[in-house]
Amino acid sequence: MLRPSHTDKRVNEPRTLGSDRTETHPVERLPAPELAGAAALGDLAVEFPRTELQRPTRILLVNADPVALRRIDAHLSGEGYVVSTLSTFQSAKELFNRLGPDLLVADIRLEAFNGLHLAARSRLDSPSLPVIITHASYDPVLETEAQRLGATFVVNPLENSEFLRHVRGALDKHRQVLPTSRP
């Protein structure tokens, strides 16, 4: 009789880094009897597709500064978010629909374009997606423009509890507005 292996609890999931690099990170999986959405059929466990409540929150992080990108990625990943990192407007625009993020965090400076351009572009494909625009210093004009696009404006540094409060707030607000799950 076929028995599932319960010894290997880790599988690899892809993770996008930079504009064209992908890295694979191990992600813990529970033993078959404890699988979310699993049903036991004799000795064989079958896993059903994850629902919105079971799926980890996906954040698309776009920042042209590789050091800041790594720091913010580590900070958000440490909180349990699945983070896809990109460094250019063009790569974010091309991969946006494929990645299907729950939150977009974009720095204002993205080479020829900026985070506001990306926020406006994301509204075409996902009008209710929460967006956080980041900048090194406070700028009331940029803040007003971000708010006009329905985005939250946050001043660096982003490796602190205040930034996490903005992330949670944007995600909670989005969940209240859009109660149905996305694929």
Q: 126 by DSSP, 3-state: which?
A: coil
Would you state the pLDDT for residue 3? 40
- What is this structure's pTM? 0.67
Tens of pLDDT, residue by residue over 8-54, are 333 344 454 444 444 434 444 333 333 344 444 444 444 444 455 56
CB atoms within 10 A of CB 101: 24
Annotated domain spans of the chain: 17-24+51-177
Domain 17-24+51-177, CATH: 3.40.50.2300
Residue 177: predicted pLDDT: 58
Q: What is the pLDDT of residue 173?
A: 81
One DSSP character per residue, 15-49 reads: EEETTTEEEEEEEE---GGG-TTEEEETTEEEEPP
Q: Give the residue ranges of the chain where pLDDT is below 70.
A: 1-54, 177-183
